Amino acid sequence: MTDVPGRRPASSGSAAGAGDVVRPGGGPGQDGALQEPDVRAGLRLLLAVAGAVALAVGLGPVALLVHDRWSPLVRLDASVSRAAERAEEASPLLRHAALALTHLGDPLVVTLGSLVTVVALLVVHRRRAALFVAVARIGALVLSQTTKQVVGRARPVFAHPIAHAGGASFPSGHALGGSVFWLTTALVVLPAVAPSRRRLVLAAAVVVSLVVAATRVLIGVHFLTDVVAGLLVGGAWTAVCASVFALWRHEEGRPQPVLQQGVDA
């Protein structure tokens, strides 16, 4: 009997027919045995932990420079803050726009938005996408609050402040949490968007994240390095989460690129 590529030959005493297809991660004794569910889950967890460690290592030097008030960073932040104060004083329209748009990254708004997104995804039976949004949001909160406590940077002071915020300044929670929320939202809606418009959806999420970060500097509650760190950490954490979920999907034989098909297409 001639073997058919990709198929398991029927053997005597076996209930398998000639049309049975060999699946990746097949039964015990095959090379795919290493792809058992518990091992696959362990690999995904390892990837998530490695990503979180890489984030901490990458953020560490910047956080240390900010904590130690490295003079080049201090001068850069001070000059940008002075320019932002002059800009918002010269343009009431810019001031009002910044005060309104900054809520797109407000922790309460982002948390409620994440909760609504999770519920909506569960309703339409997209459990994996719902888990992705929940994990990304919880991780963003942990990263933001932990780094704020460790660095303990004071917020900028404007001569005529137009907004006030409590807590430490580095990194910007609005920039970090907002970028994670808008990027994860873009990724979970990709399967419902026409292929020709998927890049536009992702670009819109990036633009909104940048706008939120800019408003934090304009209204005087964060330094430039606060929002840059928030954007970088938020983008990196989203990438870590998307990579873990992409690995999960790949294990099931669906290796479509995340940036084209989302996390659960």
CA-CA-CA-CA torsion sign (67, 72, 73, 78):
positive
Quote the CA–CA distance of 217 and 225 in Å, as a whole number: 10
The answer to whether the pTM exceeds 0.95 is: no
Model confidence at 222, in pLDDT bands (50, 70, 90)? very high
**CA atoms of 45 and 222, how far apart (whole Å):** 34
In angstroms, the CA 72 to CA 161 distance is 25
pLDDT, average across residues 168-188:
94
pLDDT digit string, tens, across residues 99-134: 999 999 999 999 999 999 999 999 999 998 999 999
Band of residue 265 on the pLDDT scale cut at 50, 70, 90? low
What per-residue confidence (pLDDT) applies to 11? 45
Helix/strand/coil for 104: helix
DSSP-derived letter for residue 221 is S
Q: Which amino acid is at 188?
A: V
pLDDT in tens, 63-92: 777 877 888 888 999 999 999 989 988 899
Rounded to whole angstroms, the maximal C-alpha distance in the chain is 87
Task: Please tell me whether residue 21 adopts helix, strand or coil conformation.
Answer: strand
The pLDDT assigned to 247 comes to 77
Structure tokens at 50: 């490695």
Q: Which residues of 11-34 are buried (b: 16+ CB within 10 A; e: fewer)?
A: eeeeeeeeeeeeeebeeeeeeeee
What are the structural domain ranges in the chain? 37-261
Q: What pLDDT is stored for residue 230 in this prediction?
A: 93
- From the CB of residue 231, how many other CB atoms can be counted at a distance below 10 Å? 21
The pLDDT value recorded for residue 88 is 85
Q: What is the pLDDT of residue 22?
A: 41
**Which of 210-213's residues contact partners 24+ apart within 8 Å by CB, and which partners?**
211/101, 211/104, 212/101, 212/102, 212/104, 212/105, 212/174, 212/175, 212/178, 212/179, 213/105, 213/172, 213/174, 213/175, 213/178, 213/179
Give the number of other Cβ atoms within 10 Å of residue 47's Cβ: 16
Q: Residue 55: what pLDDT? A: 66
- Residue 108's pLDDT is 95
Q: How confident is the model at residue 26 (pLDDT cuts 50, 70, 90)?
A: very low
pLDDT value for 161: 76
Which residue blocks in the chain are alpha helix, DSSP H? Answer: 37-67, 71-90, 92-101, 107-123, 127-151, 173-189, 198-218, 224-251, 258-261
Mean pLDDT (whole number) for 235-253: 79
Report the distance separating Cα 21 and Cα 152, nearest Å.
58
Does CATH number 1.20.144 belong to domain 37-261? Answer: yes
Residue linked to tokens 């808008």: 182
Q: Is the pLDDT of residue 20 over 70?
A: no
User: To the nearest 10°, the Cα dihedral for 39, 40, 45, 48?
Assistant: 140
Q: Enumerate the β-bridge partners of residue 172.
A: none
